[in-house]
Amino acid sequence: MKLFGKKVKPSQKAFAVVTGAGSGIGRSFALELAKRGGTIVCSDINLDAAKETVALVEALGAKAFAVQCDVAKEEQVNQLAEQAEQLMQSAVTLVINNAGIGLGGKFDEMSSEDWKWCMDINLWGVIYGCRAFVPKFKQLGHGAIINVASAASFTAAPEMTVYNVSKAGVRALSETLSAELRKSNIKVNVLCPTLVPTNIIKNGKVPHKGLLDYALTNLAFTTSDKVAKLTLDRLDKGELYTIPQIDAKLFWLMKRTAPNLYAKFLGTSYRLMK
Ligand SMILES: NC(=O)c1ccc[n+]([C@@H]2O[C@H](COP(=O)([O-])OP(=O)(O)OC[C@H]3O[C@@H](n4cnc5c(N)ncnc54)[C@H](O)[C@@H]3O)[C@@H](O)[C@H]2O)c1
């Protein structure tokens, strides 16, 4: 991005808002932004968790503020955008729409409430974040958006329908905004990881919790800190996608180069596993 003829990296000295900053990937984003000289509004539905992140950011010598916000409520996200400017005494230059929950289970076992809960947080939360900040970035003349989707947005793994649909929406939203906002000097990156060790299983509504949490803790190819660092680096390079792990990259390649074969592979592996 060029600002007054000078190349500016959006992750450097950012005035950033991170949703779901009280844990996992959101907390790692806040800490990495602090290391890059940023000022961060750490928002979360859990204010105590957001405050813990603020303390960690401050320990790194950076400025941060904790704000409670439920991303499923549009008025709260709009309020967060206003409050962030007042707290940081600056325009926001980067928003990271990260807050999300995990939901798993067979398609026919999912209730309408399950669908609504997941879509309200995982998809609408990101839409509200983009709606609140895009007009502000346009007015400012630049800005950056990181939307946290998931490899689930393209892997289509069985027994994860609702989560998969919510994340596919986040990816489609991000892909569209990336093209539409380019001329407005607004950069977009969408993060699509597979397993990252965080509290997502503990906090979510998923079957086989113990097993999945074991997999998350022991079989992940990365950490939330590495994922946050890589995503910010890719945003700075103007890349749209961050697909951090080797398994995520492999699924991405298979899905795009041989989509029908991939669907058969998925169905067969699921049948054999069962
Ligand atoms: N951990 C993984 O394996 C993984 C993989 C792919 C994508 N993701 C995505 O990464 C994002 C971050 O998740 P995480 O893994 O760090 O999980 P996490 O549970 O450790 O952190 C999520 C944070 O979001 C907050 N939150 C939940 N609902 C909220 C709401 N309505 N409003 C505001 N905040 C809310 C929680 O309080 C928590 O602090 C999510 O969007 C998730 O879907 C995670």
Is it the case that residue 140 has pLDDT exceeding 70?
Answer: yes
- Lowest-confidence pick of 84-88, 93-97, 106-110, 217-221: 217-221
Provide the whole-model pTM: 0.97
Task: Give CA separation, 24 vs 87, 100, 102, in Å.
Answer: 24, 11, 13
pLDDT of 212 = 87
Residues 123-139 have a mean pLDDT of: 98
> Ligand 1 mean position to 199 CA, how many Å?
8
Q: Atom of ligand 1 at shortest distance to CA of 70? A: 32
Is residue 100 within 6 Å of ligand 1 at its C-beta?
yes
pLDDT of 66 = 99
Mutate to test the pocket of ligand 1, among 17, 19, 23 (most ligand atoms within 8 A of CB): 23
The one catalytic residue among 128, 167, 187, 229: 167
Residues 146-162 have a mean pLDDT of: 97
pLDDT of 202 = 93
Q: 248, 273, 244, 45: which is closest to 155 by C-alpha?
A: 248
pLDDT-derived band at 213 (thresholds 50, 70, 90) equals: confident
Could you confirm whether 63 is annotated as catalytic? no
pLDDT of 115 = 98
Is residue 44 within 6 Å of ligand 1 at its C-beta?
yes
CA angle 157, 250, 122 (to 5 degrees): 45
pLDDT of 6 = 54
Could you confirm whether 262 is annotated as catalytic? no
pLDDT-derived band at 5 (thresholds 50, 70, 90) equals: very low
> Ligand 1 mean position to 150 CA, how many Å?
11
pLDDT of 4 = 47
Q: Atom of ligand 1 at shortest distance to CA of 201? A: 19
Is residue 195 within 6 Å of ligand 1 at its C-beta?
yes
pLDDT of 221 = 85
pLDDT-derived band at 3 (thresholds 50, 70, 90) equals: low
pLDDT of 107 = 97
Residues 145-151 have a mean pLDDT of: 99
The one catalytic residue among 6, 128, 163, 255: 163
What average pLDDT is seen over the chain?
A: 96
Is residue 162 within 6 Å of ligand 1 at its C-beta?
no
pLDDT-derived band at 274 (thresholds 50, 70, 90) equals: confident
Are 270 and 106 in contact by the 8 Å Cβ rule? The answer is no
Q: Atom of ligand 1 at shortest distance to CA of 167? A: 43
pLDDT of 208 = 87
Residues 176-193 have a mean pLDDT of: 98
pLDDT of 82 = 98
